[in-house]
Amino acid sequence: MAVEANREMTERVRALAARFENVPYNRRLGLRVEAGSADGVRIRVPYKDENSNPGRALHGGVPASAIDIAGTLAAWAGLEDRPGLRSGTLDLSVDYIAAAVGEDIVAEARVLRRGKEIVYAEVDVANDAGKRIAKGLVTHRAIDPAAHPGWDARQLARAPDLPARAPADVPPLARGLVSVPFIARLGMVIDEMADGTATVRMPFREDNADGDGAVHEGALAALLDTTGAMASWSIVGLDLRHKASTVGVHLSYPGRAVREDVSASGRTLRRDNEIFLNTVTVVGAASGRVVATGSVTYRIVVSA
């Protein structure tokens, strides 16, 4: 793609790079912006043990975060800063192709289309040798509500319709899973995990925030991914002999969790041999507002 051949940075991207690299969540990831223009951007996430799972494999939330950040940066590379402008990712899709083990990842975003308020970008994630790690799509929106008369009258936000769940024991091994570096760094806690359901809580931390004090979209993607995985494992039973990985995730972001804890509720809708199809809803613990919803396709290869 163009950004691969042109490693230079426009002045607009250079200014955005300083801002994006200083966002608390991005800074903790180690994000660096390497190149970019209004057509596309290139970012790098250097390998850090604290972003990993056991065996030094990057947690799936890291490439998902890189895809969201790269797509957002590409969108902003063609926008002008204006007072009152509201922006955020509408949809994020990630397909995981291969694991990144003990190595940097590079995300290259290419703008597919710029509309009046919505930007569509595709993002490729690979290692430095060119091995593909993940592929994603980002749909980002930027809009000035003041420019749209009647904006407030055209708003609707429904409370989540989540099943009531009684407290359930969490398998000891599951509690051990949240001690792996990346999950522990985000502060995730498993509150419930049984019979194809899981509830995972993530406290608000400054390192999990975006530049406006809301839980970062990448952190929400990691939480959704982890919750779908836990719902899947609750059916099979945790066993370290089994091999498992996320096949893909899809998220929509209907709201923002500003300086509040979030809780994810996941449920397995279908098991097809090794494949588990899960739905997950993430709500703000204090506000009760839905801030992310989506699906997780997970695979568990049960050992003989």
The pLDDT tens digits for 170-225 are: 877 777 778 889 999 999 999 999 999 999 999 999 999 999 999 999 999 999 99
For 240-268, what is the mean pLDDT? 95
- What do you get for the CA distance between the two ends of the chain, in Å? 44
Domain 166-301 fold: Thiol Ester Dehydrase; Chain A (3.10.129)
Phi, psi of 170 (to 5 degrees): -105, 130
Type of residue numbered 201: R
Type of residue numbered 38: A
Tell me whether domains 2-144 and 166-301 share a fold: yes
Phi, psi of 169 (to 5 degrees): -65, 140
- Sorted by sequence, the CB contacts under 8 Å of residue 169 that are 6+ apart come out as 194
pLDDT at 5: 38
pLDDT at 144: 86
Taken in order 243, 251, 266, 25, is the CA torsion positive or negative? positive
- Radius of gyration, alpha carbons of the chain: 19
pLDDT at 166: 64
Token output for 196: 């194809």
- Sorted by sequence, the CB contacts under 8 Å of residue 100 that are 6+ apart come out as 47, 57, 58, 62, 63, 127, 133
Give the max Cα distance, the chain. 63
In a 3-state reduction of DSSP, which class is residue 248?
A: strand
Closest of 210, 212, 211 to residue 221, by C-alpha: 210
Please determine, for residue 99, whether its predicted confidence score (pLDDT) is greater than 60. yes
Domain boundaries along the sequence of the chain: 2-144, 166-301
For the chain, give the mean pLDDT.
92
Please determine, for residue 151, whether its predicted confidence score (pLDDT) is greater than 90. no
Token output for 86: 């509201």
Query: pLDDT by residue (tens digit) across 40-95?
Result: 999 999 999 999 998 899 999 999 999 999 999 999 999 888 888 889 999 999 99
pLDDT at 54: 84
Kindly list the distances between the CA atom of residue 129 and the CA atoms of 104, 133, 212, 253, in Å, as whole numbers in the listed order.
10, 11, 35, 33
Which architecture, in CATH terms, is 2-144? Roll (3.10)
Query: pLDDT by residue (tens digit) across 5-31?
Result: 346 889 999 999 999 999 999 999 999
